[in-house]
Amino acid sequence: MKRPATYPHWLALLPVLAVAAALRLYDLGDIPLVNDELSALNRLRFDSFGELIEKGVMPDGHPAGVQVFLYYWTALFGRAEWVVRLPFVLMGLLAIVLAYALGRRWFSATAGLWAAACLAGLQYSLFYTTIARPYASGLLFCLAMAWYWTRLLFDEERPKIAPATGYALAGLVCAYNHYFS
């Protein structure tokens, strides 16, 4: 069953996202890197992709996704604190949108707004979506996987190629992101 579009609820999400963005972007470049970030950045100093995998990923034991992403991201944009952390902040903001969409789909628009507000302002999610480690991306990819799983099981559309593909891709990036994803 398709729900009618309720744009006022999506508009109610905008102040939540504005507060979330302000909390995450405030002094982003002035906060020193934590040890986990410094360790990851230290394991990027290689001349080739093969060396990165052999000497930067394999000794660490984490899946290669975030390390490979950081390798290319820092090669393109540099190693300033705010530059390194920005994609993870953006993933954290997208995770808030997906949490709203899932809460709305599973329960109600009010539940979705509460979930989004909690992710926006709770210290735990605030901290872990502002550091350059696999936590913000893991949250985003797991929520994306849940979104496509929901569409795959409950949407009326036929064929189910798009939700099945989205589910498989989200599962793949979860696997390359972190073991807990």
Residue 3 has what pLDDT? 57
Mean pLDDT of the chain: 90
Task: Quote the CA–CA distance of 105 and 120 in Å, as a whole number.
Answer: 19
- Region 65-74: mean pLDDT is 91
Of 59 and 77, the structure prediction assigns the larger pLDDT to: 77
Render the burial of 132-163: b for 16+ CB within 10 Å, e for the rest: bbbbbbbbbbbbbbbbbbbbbeeeeeeeeeeb
pLDDT digits (tens, 9 = 90+) for 107-151: 999 999 999 999 999 999 999 999 999 999 999 999 999 999 999
Element (H, E) at 96: helix 81-106
Q: Looking at residues 72-90, what average pLDDT do you find?
A: 94
Tokens standing for residue 97 = 């949108």
CA distance 89 to 21: 8
CA dihedral for 50, 74, 40, 24, sign (positive or negative):
negative
